[in-house]
Amino acid sequence: MNDDKEAGKAGKSSIKTLQCSNLYEYLKTLSPAVIDRLYTYPIICLAIYRDLPVVAKHYVIRILFVEQPVPQAEANEVTQVLSDLRVWHETSIPGGLPAWELNPVFKKNFKNSLLGGGRTWGIKANLETDSKARDVDYLDKYAMERWECVLHYMVGSKQQEGISVDAVRVLLHAGLMRQDDEDGSPVITKEGFQFLLLDTAEQVWYFMLQYLDTAASRNLDLVNCLAFLFQLSFSTLGKDYCADGMTEEMLTFLQHLREFGLVYQRKRKGGKFYPTRLALNITNRDSSGLAAQRKDGFVVVESNYRIYAYTDSNLQVALIGLFAELLYRFPNMVVGTLTRDSICMALRSGITADQIVNFLRLHAHPRLVAKGPPILPPTITDQINLWEKERDRFGCSDGILYSQFLSHSDFSILRDFAQEHGLLVWQNDQKKNHGRQFWWL
Amino acid sequence: MVKVTRGTLVKCDPAMKEFLIHLDETMAIGTKFIIEDLDEQHLFIQTDAIETLMARVDDLMDKISFPMTEKS
């Protein structure tokens, strides 16, 4: 089996796994001009530096104050990362040796961010004390409430207030929902189901990336928005910031963030806002900031395929309902079973077995965690995987069959050509009724 | 003369292959869809039949599975 066949398969099967790229992968997709403009913000330089691999950090910090290009050492992944991000570029020093030189814009602004100087950056803290200050718990609660509003909308539960047209547009653009053929109302897609099973930080990041994609269409400047997001991510939780002096454009952006729960504002025109944990975690998803926020798990899975979910949230119940058959509902818990039918239903709607298992593991009740590892009964995880495999009994790849060659040399010429170009997926050089056949994608 | 045909290569285990051949022979989906029987694990079939076949295989698996939990 060669690479081409793999590619063919991926295109063929309708299940597409949701790709949640990290900051580096996202920046790589931006055009060089945009990246260069990003580097005019010291805060972005700092954020990108923070996200670099350790070795790359060393490179950058060591040559930051070297005012001339440095000769190139061997190229490796790390140097490639720096080139991709346009943190440095290749140049040559006298004598014709290849060398690295830091991007002057990056260099200047990164120095600014480390040493201070230049115009003030970052969002202004509010100097007056807020008479109705909000504490961290309140903000966390608020943020989750807003965010769950979006998720609620996706699963289509009616109890919550709706979300704005803008947010719906982002969901549609992201392919998480699509317009129903009949009445044009948005319905959830396969990707949407996968999205629901991600953890919150990943969801926010994915959602914001898609939002930024559509930024241009709502007259927002991508670079300004990104810069503002990064500024938020460097702010302090539970502190209020001043919205005075922000441009009209950024105020619009702020209102959108407010809707998704990334910032809290008591009044639209209040002039101050509190960033929430969702915003703080947006650029450093791997760090421990998130762990502090993670609520205790609530799902108990037993080896007899029963699921007990201690939750009163309709959203959580709806999520469990995606892949389990719900039996009883009590005020503070639901009971369900994992059956072949319920899992197959989930698989058919595009969720993968891994995602289900990950979801269960992520939300496992502390008592399961305490008993583990393994957190989940192995019979359950194995069976879910088996049920998935059962559906995947054959692999397909589109292709063209060449058969009934006149001579063996014809056959081998074509075969060697296909092999060279990585196009061969199947061949048979035994003499059969039809002569020799082989496959070409 | 070399014969060139466009279609889809299906790789599956021999048992599944037999099932596909059975579907083909009994015209279960209305038409014949196998273009070429390549070897034990490979079939060459018409591309547009794939979706229907997938559904048929799902049905088969549903039929031969036994529910472990009792409906209460």
Q: What is the mean pLDDT of each run of 10 residues along chain B (72 residues)?
A: 79 84 82 80 82 81 72 51
Among A339, A395, A400, whose Cβ lies nearest the Cβ of B6?
A: A400
Residue A131: inside a domain, yes or no? no
**A127 in any annotated domain:** no
Q: Which residue of A has its CA nearest to B41?
A: A394
pLDDT > 70? residue A154: yes
Q: Report CB contact under 8 Å: B16, A393.
A: yes
Of these ranges, A29-33, A263-267, A418-422, B23-27, the one predicted with the greatest mean pLDDT is: B23-27
Q: Where are the domains of chain B?
A: 8-64
pLDDT value of residue A292 = 42
Asked whether residue A162 falls in the same domain as residue A278, the answer is: yes
The alpha-carbon gap from A77 to the nearest alpha carbon of chain B, in Å, equals 36
Whether A399 and A425 have beta carbons less than 8 Å apart is answered as yes
Report the gap between the CA of B41 and the closest CA in chain A (Å). 10
Contacting residues for A405 by C-beta, under 8 A, at least 6 apart: A411, A414, A435, A436, B2
Q: pLDDT at residue A21 above 80?
A: no
pTM for this predicted structure: 0.67
- pLDDT tens-digit readout, A36-74: 888 888 878 888 888 788 888 888 888 888 777 777 776
A393, A400, A428: residue with CB nearest B5: A400
**Which of A124-128, A183-187, A314-318 tops mean pLDDT?**
A314-318
- Give the pLDDT of residue A435: 42
Q: Which domain holds residue A43?
A: 23-115
Cα–Cα distance measured from residue A27 to residue A33, given in angstroms and rounded to the nearest whole number: 12
Residue A136, pLDDT above cutoff 70: yes
**Helical pair A42-51 and A222-233, crossing angle rounded to 10 deg:** 60
ipTM over 0.85: no
pLDDT for the residue numbered B68: 64
* Cβ A314 vs Cβ A305: under 8 Å: no
Tell me: pLDDT of A9 over 50: no
pLDDT value for A10: 31
- Which of A352, A367, A392 is the C-terminal boundary of a domain? A392
- Between A76 and A142, where is the model more confident? A142
The verdict on A164 and A263 lying in the same domain is yes
Mean pLDDT of the A227-251 span: 77
Tell whether A11 is covered by a domain. no
Q: Is B67 in CB contact (< 8 Å) with chain A?
A: yes
- In CATH terms, the fold of domain B8-64 is Alpha-Beta Plaits (3.30.70)
